[in-house]
Amino acid sequence: MAALAQYLAHLFAPWVNLYSNSLTVETVVVFLHVGGLVVAGGLAWMLDRAVLRSARDPSHPARAELARELGGSHGTVLVGLGVVVLSGVALTAADPKTFLVSWIFWTKMALIVLLLFNGWLLKRAGAHVATEPEAELSFRRLHRAAIRSTGLWALTILAGVALSQS
């Protein structure tokens, strides 16, 4: 991995130079990364909280409406995650020797993959609840996906903070 990091550092030398010598470029990239996390994670947490709260109210019309709202908001979460990924690539390219050999970096990458997979499961469960709000099994799947989502977002943010400190 160290050899790959060295090769990429050489390959991305112009970007490393620009990023390292321009406070504006660094600020914009970090803003996009943190902003993407705030938008995607904040919206996801808000929706996950609504799902968790709705477990106490088994009203089928309310659950169906919530599931439709989830489906409509999922695109915004994915765009936010896309911004996080692209800005993360820019951050990694700015210092591949540090990031590519870090177990914290790879843990964060795994968490992002898990977030995407869980988002797919959440969207699928939400679609079932939207069409069959009385199906308790579908709602339990949605509820479990919301619990996982909340934890995965928290761990992803923690990994990002830990990575910035390493």
Could you tell me the sign of the dihedral formed by the alpha carbons of 13, 15, 18, 22, in that order?
A: negative
Say what the pTM is. Answer: 0.84
Residue 79's domain comprises 2-165
- Report the CATH number that the domain containing residue 55 is assigned in CATH: 1.20.1420
CA distances from 89 to 3, 14, 94, 135, 160 (A): 18, 15, 9, 41, 13
pLDDT in tens, the chain (166 residues): 778 777 877 888 899 999 999 999 999 999 999 999 999 999 999 999 988 888 877 676 777 788 888 878 888 988 999 999 999 999 999 988 888 889 999 999 999 999 999 988 988 888 888 888 777 888 899 999 999 999 999 999 999 999 988 8
Q: Does residue 57 come out as left (phi exceeding 0), alpha (psi in the -120 to 50 range) or beta?
A: beta
Residue 154 sits at the vertex; the CA angle it makes with 120 and 161, to the nearest 5 degrees, is 120
CB 1 within 8 A of CB 100: yes
Q: How many domains does the chain have?
A: 1
